[in-house]
A and B are shown apart, each in its own frame.
Chain A
């Protein structure tokens, strides 16, 4: 989860005596934390041994102009052009698109784990950020539909995939023998909607589609995450808990003999902090809130919605954004849904209700397709935190023998673990050329 990267950023950004690069992917033997679905979500399911994956990959970081650059606000000067990455095999090979999860970029830690697995299996890999990631939002020509509207997100992604595919063919001479698509979390749900769209458009004719820990209903999932960090009804307690967690980390750090931070001392920090279930939830909720703040700001700037920024105002690149960040912390996803997504959708069709939208932004909307299509696979955990009671059973019933449900792993906590990678190998094996 992001909190690990937050901790890393603390170290990387602030410290004066960095020794070796802190590497996120250092292979460690199993950890001895007490297991919970929340712990697995935050630190990864480290009780299971890590898979034997390449240490690093030759990633080609690419940029592509999607929306004319002068239409992108100066406050996003660093986000002009859409970023994505290509990892290529030497020869002709099958190609897989990977779509990132909510608020995540094409090179997030989870994306890297998946890239390593698929590269090992002989795939070319194109990694694309989530349509909820700021770089995607500000480069998308769409200013009509709110990110999270799965069918429209899929259209957006599909256009990007086409442009990107053309670019890597001409610039990097990639030759693909077939196409597949996958994505984790929200990116998993996107993959399913993209696969459906491709049935009509027939550009890629995907060989395999894999949904990794997808939400069943976007609304249900984010409602769960909203509750973890309840600033609206419980601000004082949340704020106090945050301070308490920091204080504990700080104490443990002062007792630690060395002042260095590396992977094992971060694990140590977590182990000794003995975070309670509520505290782990708070960290998950806070990290979700951080990415949704970034998303809301990018939408505000692109769509001129005026939720946390001044409407009809061009933000200068040196202007203070602190007030916007503070305002964003007060918005739950529920608010975003009620006050942004619903009114937008009603502008198109006045009769639409909230219940209709909740249905539309869920796998229920394309249930028949998912049931009937043999190429679509699902993998998730029995204890995935973003699934409500009954949703695992629902997935099982829809995907039947194409579903793999691991007993443990929380939300995407096992993407680099042994049994998960073995599952990927078994599922994608038939495609190796």
Chain B
């Protein structure tokens, strides 16, 4: 999920290229295996939504999905729990608001890039209010008085300009994405970094901050791997991600 903005993103494309080619998800059948009784329709188009999205990198994606589920259980969630334990609620909310407020900058840039001036205006209003009256973003004063939070990222901007989503891609720790959206993520992360630079932060402070930002983002996401209990969760999530992004881009 693109919510984590993390410096490591910069290396990821290289690792991908190595890994993507390496795995396959085609079943290795034993000699006694018998083909399933229920046949697939000859024309896959007939399946509609269930075959709407190709997944050329499925082998890699499934591996990563499995890795993410394990990493979530053994690393991320324990950290999140600890974070929630030691941080008073009011501090948690304050930090969440603070990071949201920083995020307004890339929303603002991206709405301008899509000529969505009303969205840009509203976001600018939020940012100004929250940065001043809201004490550098720690308090969200804009939402209660009717400035709605908007959501535009560089993936959507690319989509707006007609860039197709490209193959589905499961990112390490971040989860569902696509080639286009992962590219957008790098841009948005750079924008975030710029805003922190403008605030005059040193690089180790920035590192801490993005770490806390990542933990905060995970803490706010109620998603739990395999809470659905379904063996098809990978498929469902892929469909939902693709659909959701289409809807967002169309907006």
Chain A residues in contact with chain B, CB under 8 A? 6, 9-22, 75-76, 78-79, 105, 129, 133-135, 235-236, 238-239, 242-243, 246, 249-250, 253-254, 257-260, 290, 293-294, 297-298, 301, 306-331, 339
Contact = CB atoms under 8 A, between A and B. Distances in A.
A14 B32 contact: no
Contact of A10 (B32, B235, B240): B240
Nearest to B226: A78
Nearest to B97: A19
Contacts of A135: 229
A188 to B, nearest CB: 21
Interface stretch (B49-57, B80-88, B204-212): B49-57
Contact of A320 (B3, B27, B175): B27
A297 B205 CA distance: 49
Interface string B33-73: 11111111100101111110001001100110010010000
Given A253-B251, A260-B148, A322 B66 contact: no
Nearest to B149: A260
Contacts of A301: 231
Nearest to B24: A320
A13 B148 contact: no
B150 interface: yes
Contact of B149 (A17, A238, A239, A242): A17
Given A322-B58, A329-B47, A315 B229 contact: no
Given A9-B240, A312-B30, 18 more contacts: A9-B237, A13-B223, A13-B240, A18-B221, A21-B222, A258-B149, A259-B150, A307-B36, A310-B29, A312-B32, A312-B34, A313-B27, A316-B27, A320-B59, A325-B50, A326-B44, A329-B50, A330-B41
Interface stretch (B9-17, B157-165, B241-249): B241-249
B38 A330 contact: yes
21 contacts: A9-B223, A11-B244, A13-B175, A16-B151, A16-B153, A17-B3, A18-B221, A19-B100, A21-B220, A134-B229, A239-B46, A239-B48, A242-B48, A250-B251, A258-B149, A311-B34, A316-B27, A320-B27, A324-B36, A330-B38, A330-B41
Contacts of B222: 12, 21-22
Contacts of B152: 259
Nearest to B47: A326
B232 A308 contact: no
B230 A294 contact: yes
A327 B40 contact: yes
B25 interface: yes
A325 B235 contact: yes
B149 A19 contact: yes
B58 A259 contact: no
B236 interface: yes
Contact of A258 (B2, B63, B148, B250): B148
A319 to B, nearest CB: 5
B182 to A, nearest CB: 12
B231 A294 contact: yes
Nearest to A311: B34
A10 B229 contact: no
Given A12-B221, A13-B1, A75-B231, A319 B27 contact: yes
A369 to B, nearest CB: 32
A322 B235 contact: yes
B198 interface: no
A297 B230 CA distance: 9
**Residue of B27, B30, B230 ringed by the most chain A CB atoms within 10 A:** B230
Contacts of A242: 48-49
B103 interface: yes
A16, A76, A249 pick with most chain B CB within 10 angstroms: A16
In order of increasing CB-CB distance, the 4 nearest A-B pairs are A258-B148, A239-B48, A320-B25, A78-B226
